[in-house]
Structure 1
Amino acid sequence: MGNKGHRRRLNRRITDRIVAELEAGRFPWVQPWGVAAAPGHSGAPGQPGATAPGLPRNAITARRYSGVNILILWGSVIEHGWPTQNWLTFRQALAAGGVVRKGERGTCVVYADRFTPDTEKERARETGDEARAIPFLKRFTLFNAAQCEGLPDGFSTPDAPLPERATMPAAERLIAATGADFRIGGERAFYAPSRDFVQVPPQPAFFEQINYYRTCLHELTHWTGHASRLARDQSGCFGSADYAREELVAEMGAAFLCAALGIVPTVRHADYLAGWLDVLRHDSRAIFRAASQASKAADFLLSFASDTPADELSP
């Protein structure tokens, strides 16, 4: 019971933080990068400096973090204006020859898994039943590479900025590689589950052409939810909680994909903000499920691009 109570409190604390961000008009899943800072300036809190596109990753293993941890780590990057998406534990910093600077505060992230106690395995052997696994949620602390000193070159160096251009070859290759029935035309962007096709307006129709790709990836995230792929519930009608949940998955999935591909779109208008807030306030697990499903959808799509590996996302 104590473990369940701990999980509920941790779920609610993280959910409340994300709800507060949304209520303030900030989107925790929008890529935390901005204009390049002046030389020698790393950015003040709330004023991002030369923040690099990309998914948060472990500086030692190069593995990307997943699910709600992406939102937590991006939030810290936005708050402090750090120029890198590289993260380490305190011990990893020491092992790499560096040290966390005195006075720096770490960022708490979570790790969810299941384990089967030996007593349960024994009971299952005796009864012939299937052993029941017990879910657990563990938290641990990470430090951004910019909070450390003495690390090898490259650990905290900002990624190369994305050059300005209308077309993104990596995104074009990924869209083509999925084999999705992808139609260009009309005035609306949508995914039709019953007929299993995506449609988006032509790229010149977008005021800022880079947003064409965010829209494509949003609709392709919906496409992954088809029964023949990741089988998410897409039966909700507009305005329903189920509809808001699927839109939340698609929004975060598009953000994760844009980060992985180095695409920097502008912030999307909060079309579904009220619905998202209603879902999150009533269900402290909703943001965890949505972020997990968004990560799975992004990994599913990235798997079509042989030069864009979808690493297992763990500390």
Structure 2
Amino acid sequence: MFSLRRGQPTLLLILWGAVIEHGYPAQGWLTFRQARAAGGSVRKGERGTAIVYADRFVPAAERQRARDAGEEARSVPFLKRFTVFNAAQCEGLPDDVPASAPPLPERELFPVAEEVIAASGVEVRIGGDMAYYAPGPDYVQVPPQPAFFHQIDYYRTCLHELAHATGHASRLARDLSDPFGSKGYAREELVAELGSAFLCAALGIRPTVRHADYIACWLDVLREDSRAIFRAASAASKAADWLLARRPAQQTEAQA
């Protein structure tokens, strides 16, 4: 069984994302060789999940050098790539293999937020360890919900990224071309964060404030333009309205 340790958060998130994406029943992962060694095999046609293991080690020569010099041995960083397969992709494995890794925590679903996400029409990809909106290919990426310290933060994050997505040329057509760290980027982040706050308020989710570095960027923008907050709030309100209007319950109420 491939060993997962607490010091490998990115690796854990990748595998959590794969479990959610493919609907595997448990977090049991093996390399091709490990499956064979366990008496089983990977089923024909199954595609593995690529992961990269990062760690450090001390070569024997360095340990000897450090002993001779009376110094502390220097470790060497390394990366190693693996392709692993979920136990559900294998056959002939012992019964205890799928249960040898802890199962993914159950999701804490918030139905009204799920409705907004699904009705948006924006592709939401689950996996990895970062949340972002990719304007070119037009998709939202978020880590698996159980990866968040508070699972409700998954929905706050999804709504923030979906607020960004409303700026696409096919929707509300905001300028999303400003690079990271620029004033224009900070303005768009402010729009997305206010949009998320408006959506949370409408859906009954308690809003939260983002990281201090975001706030510092917003303050720079607001110092330069005292009306920036009003323009951002207006754009955020339009973004929230665009998303809420597509929610099935909202459409039913409008037709009544």
Please indicate the TM-score interval, normalised by the length of the shorter structure.
0.5 to 0.7
Larger helix percent = 2
Alignment match, 1:253: 195
Alignment match, 1:244: 186
The AA in structure 2 aligned to 1:238 is: F
1:270 Cα deviation (Å)? 2.6
1:268 Cα deviation (Å)? 2.8
SS at match of 1:215: helix
The AA in structure 1 aligned to 2:217 is: G
- Could you say if the C-alpha distance between residues 230 and 189 of structure 1 is closer, same or farther in structure 2, counting changes exceeding 3 Å? same
User: d(CA) in 1 for partners of 2:227 and 2:238?
Assistant: 17
Alignment match, 1:269: 211
Alignment match, 1:232: 174
Give unmatched runs, 5+ long, in structure 1: 1-164
1:166 Cα deviation (Å)? 2.2
So what's the TM-score if we normalise by structure 1?
0.45
User: d(CA) in 2 for partners of 1:308 and 1:207?
Assistant: 31
> Does the Cα contact within 8 Å between 1:280 and 1:286 map onto a contact in 2?
yes
1:266 Cα deviation (Å)? 4.2
- The one of 117, 141, 144 equivalent to 1:175 is 117
- The one of 253, 266, 284 equivalent to 2:226 is 284
> Does the Cα contact within 8 Å between 1:190 and 1:198 map onto a contact in 2?
yes
| CA deviation vs aligned residue, 1:202-255 (integer Å, no higher than 9, x gap) | 000000001100000000000000011101111111110000000000000000
Q: For residues 205-216 of structure 1, what are the structure 2 equivalents within 5 Å?
A: 205-216=147-158
Alignment match, 1:88: none
User: d(CA) in 1 for partners of 2:208 and 2:199?
Assistant: 14
The AA in structure 1 aligned to 2:237 is: S
The AA in structure 2 aligned to 1:212 is: Y
Q: For residues 58-207 of structure 1, what are the structure 2 equivalents within 5 Å?
A: 166-207=108-149
- The one of 217, 223, 239 equivalent to 1:297 is 239
> Does the Cα contact within 8 Å between 2:115 and 2:248 map onto a contact in 1?
no
State the number of aligned residues.
148
> Does the Cα contact within 8 Å between 1:211 and 1:265 map onto a contact in 2?
no
1:267 Cα deviation (Å)? 3.6
Give unmatched runs, 5+ long, in structure 2: 1-106
> Does the Cα contact within 8 Å between 1:210 and 1:264 map onto a contact in 2?
no
Query: Which consecutive segments of 4 or more residues in structure 1 shift more than 3 A?
Result: none
SS at match of 1:183: strand
Greater C-alpha radius of gyration: 2
User: Could you say what the CA RMSD is over the residues aligned between the two structures, in angstroms?
Assistant: 2.1
| CA deviation vs aligned residue, 1:291-314 (integer Å, no higher than 9, x gap) | 0000000000001113237x9xxx
1:265 Cα deviation (Å)? 4.7
> Does the Cα contact within 8 Å between 2:163 and 2:239 map onto a contact in 1?
yes
